[in-house]
């Protein structure tokens, strides 16, 4: 994850090409096991969930050693500015793919609310399909197919979570500037604060899910609203977990003396990802909880 250089501060004059590695094959097998297990799990195949667990654990182990090799290459001074540029382009395209991923779900939310719901509520569809359908958002489907539920408002947990994420963006920026100024202790402190805020967000969201399911009767099958609510907030929560995990790894590396003020793309890449997660949450906060 890093294009930082070794303690010698020497830059490799070439484009480093790693030796042959078995990591891609091992990761492919782990993903295959996870996919096959997931397909079996939803179809009631015995022991399929254990195959999913085994595949996920294998994937984590492969990533640990794979990133460990990349970090060792970086810290031994094998990477040059060309490698640094490759890391930056790679991370940029990865974040762009995530932007399009969430754009698909936001697009689905817009389409259901703005086009499908009014369309199904016009006179022709009400006469021919569902006379009792109410063209309002959220709705309970035709003829009460969906159990009654309550929506999740912006107060107070979503607003608290917004404050947590926005604050974490500030603490991360302070940490980044401290690293650039070679104030390692300050960088470590503010990065640790960022990680804590990130996992606090996850805890609050878990509590919100319990409240929504138990007290509001809001479930994944609660019509389009329920499915989109859990898909958007759930995937975002997963991204927060991944981002906080990345920042935890960066924190450990800082504690071990990695990174320099002028070479620390591992830190920057994780920070890009975290700021992207912050921006996505602002969209969710507005269009899920307020509008």
Tokens encoding 52: 């999913």
Q: What is the mean predicted confidence (pLDDT) over 133-155?
A: 78
What homologous superfamily is domain 82-290 in, according to CATH? Cytochrome c oxidase, subunit III, four-helix bundle (1.20.120.80)
By the 8 A CB rule, do 192 and 118 touch? no
pLDDT at 147: 81
- DSSP tag of 13: S
Of 69-73, 169-173, 203-207, 275-279, which gets the smallest average pLDDT?
A: 69-73
Above 90 in pLDDT, residue 2?
no
Q: Please state, as a whole number, how many other Cβ atoms lie within 10 Å of the Cβ of residue 289.
A: 19
pLDDT tens across 52-80, in order?
A: 999 999 999 999 999 998 888 888 878 77
Question: Which of 125-129, 208-212, 250-254 shows the lowest mean pLDDT across its residues?
Answer: 125-129
194-211 per-position pLDDT tens digit: 999 999 999 999 999 999
* Predicted confidence band of residue 140 (pLDDT cuts 50, 70, 90): confident
Does the pLDDT at position 102 exceed 70?
Answer: yes
Across 129-158, b (16+ Cβ under 10 Å) vs e yields: eeeebeeebbbbbbeeebeebeebeeeebb
pTM for the structure as a whole: 0.84
pLDDT at 169 over 70: yes
68: left (phi over 0), alpha (psi -120 to 50) or beta: alpha
pLDDT at 141 over 90: no
Q: State the span(s) of the chain assigned CATH 1.10.287.
A: 18-78
pLDDT reading at 4 higher than 60 = no
CB hemisphere CA count around 270 (13 angstroms): 28
- Give 253's pLDDT tier (boundaries 50, 70, 90): very high
Q: Where in the chain is the domain with CATH 1.20.120.80?
A: 82-290
Tokens of 128: 């021919």
Mean pLDDT, the chain, as a whole number?
88
CATH number of 18-78: 1.10.287
Per-residue confidence band for 291, with pLDDT thresholds at 50, 70 and 90? confident
């Amino acid at each position: 994850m890093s294009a930082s250089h070794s303690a010698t501060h020497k830059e490799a004059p070439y484009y480093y090409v790693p030796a042959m590695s078995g990591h891609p094959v091992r990761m492919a097998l782990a993903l295959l096991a996870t996919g096959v297990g997931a397909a079996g799990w939803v179809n009631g195949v015995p022991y399929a969930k254990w195959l999913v667990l085994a595949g996920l654990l294998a994937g984590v182990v492969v990533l640990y050693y794979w990133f460990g090799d990349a970090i060792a290459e970086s810290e031994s001074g094998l990477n040059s500015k060309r490698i640094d540029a490759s890391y930056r382009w790679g991370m940029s395209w990865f974040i762009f793919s995530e932007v399009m991923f969430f754009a698909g779900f936001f697009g689905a939310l817009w389409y259901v609310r703005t086009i499908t719901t009014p369309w199904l509520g016009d006179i022709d569809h009400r006469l021919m399909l569902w006379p009792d359908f109410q063209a309002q958002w959220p709705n309970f489907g035709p003829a009460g197919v969906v159990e009654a539920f309550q929506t999740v408002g912006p107060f107070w947990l979503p607003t608290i979570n917004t404050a947590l994420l926005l604050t974490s963006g500030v603490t991360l920026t302070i940490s980044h500037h401290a690293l650039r100024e070679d104030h390692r202790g300050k960088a470590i402190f503010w990065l640790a604060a960022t990680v804590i805020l990130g996992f606090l967000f996850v805890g609050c969201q878990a509590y919100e899910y319990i409240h929504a399911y138990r007290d509001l009767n809001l479930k994944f099958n609660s019509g389009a609203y329920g499915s989109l609510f859990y898909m958007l907030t759930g995937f975002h929560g997963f991204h927060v977990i991944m981002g906080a995990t990345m920042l935890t790894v960066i924190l450990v590396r800082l504690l071990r003396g990695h990174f320099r003020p002028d070479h620390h793309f591992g830190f920057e890449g994780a920070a890009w990802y975290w700021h992207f997660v912050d921006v996505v949450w602002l969209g969710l906060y507005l269009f899920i909880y307020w509008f």
